[in-house]
Amino acid sequence: MSDACLIRKVTEQDLPVLLAWRNHADIRRYMYTQHEISLDEHRTWFAEASQDPSRSLLIVEEAAQAIGYVQFSNIEAGGIADWGFYARPDAPKGAGRKLGTMALSHAFGLLKLHKVCGKAIASNHASIAFHQRLGFQLEGVLRDQQRIEGAYHSLHFFGLLSAEWQTKGDLQE
């Protein structure tokens, strides 16, 4: 499954497409900041984030087509990093699973992380099921932890250990 997939760094050339995905209603509504991001704001974010050695901004491609975006932050070998992601809004079903599998193989392989942490807004049922499908454990629910546009949202916190990922052979074929 992963044969036709690759994972690579985000480049300047990706920025317009990445911004269109990030601003898409199906993605934006599950982010912690929900305003429409301008190209200037997006470029400023990229200029800073792409120079930060503790962060990795990545695109997953399948058959030379970008299928989604993943970022890791607080990276340190043997360390505990956070991830965030979105699939291309019009990507076919199954794109998310490929995105997640490629990203976690990268995280526990090349980046040598010990643990990846994710968090999802309680109403984001797809992301919650997605984390569980990839082998993440639900480690806690923080009630009314995030205020978005005046409304409080509970957050589901997930964790996946390197050793747990290594035993999930069915996702790494």
Ligand X SMILES: CC(C)(COP(=O)(O)OP(=O)(O)OC[C@H]1O[C@@H](n2cnc3c(N)ncnc32)[C@H](O)[C@@H]1OP(=O)(O)O)[C@@H](O)C(=O)NCCC(=O)NCCS
Instruction: Name the DSSP class of 12.
Output: G
Cross-strand partners of 121: 155
Q: Choose between 47 and 138: whose C-beta lies nearer to ligand X.
A: 138
Q: Which residue has the tokens 């509504």?
A: 29
How far apart are alpha carbons 99 and 69 in whole angstroms?
A: 8
**Residue 133 interacting with ligand X (CB under 6 A):** yes
Q: Does 140 bind ligand X (CB under 6 A)?
A: no
Report if residue 9 touches ligand X, rule: CB under 6 A. no
Measured from the CB of residue 139, what is the shortest distance to ligand X in angstroms? 14
Straight-line distance from the first to the last Cα atom of the chain, in angstroms, rounded to the nearest whole number:
6
Q: Stretches 51-59, 93-101, 102-110, 159-167: which one binds ligand X (CB under 6 A)? A: 93-101
Is position 70 an interface residue for ligand X (rule: CB under 6 A)? Answer: no
CB atoms within 10 A of CB 26: 12
Q: What is the C-alpha separation between 126 and 116, in angstroms, rounded?
A: 18
Question: Closer CB to ligand X, residue 5 or residue 27?
Answer: 27
* Interface with ligand X, residue 30, by CB under 6 A: yes
Structure tokens, 22: 């990030």
Backbone phi and psi for residue 64, each to the nearest 5 degrees, phi listed first: 65, 15
Region from 5-13, 26-34, 50-58, 136-144 binding ligand X, contact rule CB under 6 A: 26-34
Instruction: List interacting residues with ligand X (CB under 6 A).
Output: 26-27, 30, 85-87, 91, 93-97, 120, 124-127, 129-130, 133
